[in-house]
């Protein structure tokens, strides 16, 4: 009836905790000591939390509710991807390592990377939530 982590783990191309931790560490290292990157990263986090909230509630929504919010969910997902790209572009211009972004994947290279980016947003929200205690 309710989703489990095992269900997610069995899905096609899940973003594992280990992958999340490695990518997240790369993001943090690349932004270290850079105030502008920190501001962009904060924007990214806001977008991630907004998207993750909608995605977390998705499984509890009726078909009608999903149809009503689907366009908004898509727009929030698009905005999230824009923030990831903005941070990577900025860091690249600064000569910083953006292998974290390449590892996460670009939707232009593989449309399924959109799911990985959404998964990453959920991991970010999870991490922020448990660290806020």
For the whole model, what pTM was predicted?
0.91
The reply to whether 8 falls in a domain is: no
Whether 1 maps to a domain, the answer reads: no
Burial of 67 from C-beta contacts in 10 A (0-12 / 13-18 / 19+): exposed
Q: Does residue 41 form part of some domain?
A: yes
The number of domains in the chain is 1
In a domain, 69, yes or no: yes
Predicted confidence (pLDDT) per residue in 86-130, tens digit? 999 999 999 999 999 999 999 999 998 999 999 999 999 999 999
How does pLDDT run across 46-97, given as a tens digit for each residue? 999 999 999 999 989 999 999 999 999 999 999 999 999 999 999 999 999 9
Contacts of 62 (CB under 8 A, 6+ apart): none
Domain with 64 in it: 15-131
Residue 22: inside a domain: yes
57 lies in a domain? yes
CATH, residue 63: 1.10.287
Residue 10 lies in a domain: no
């Amino acid at each position: 009836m309710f989703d489990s982590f095992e269900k997610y783990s069995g899905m096609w191309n899940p973003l594992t905790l280990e992958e999340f931790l490695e990518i997240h560490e790369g993001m943090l290292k690349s932004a270290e000591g850079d105030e502008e990157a920190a501001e962009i990263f904060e924007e990214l986090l806001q977008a991630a939390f907004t998207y993750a909230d909608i995605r977390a509630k998705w499984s509890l929504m009726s078909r009608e509710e999903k149809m009503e919010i689907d366009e908004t969910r898509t727009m929030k997902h698009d905005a999230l991807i824009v923030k990831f790209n903005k941070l990577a572009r900025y860091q690249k211009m600064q000569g910083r390592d953006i292998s974290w972004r390449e590892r996460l994947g670009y939707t232009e290279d593989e449309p399924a990377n959109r799911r990985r980016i959404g998964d990453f947003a959920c991991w970010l929200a999870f991490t922020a939530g448990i660290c806020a205690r």
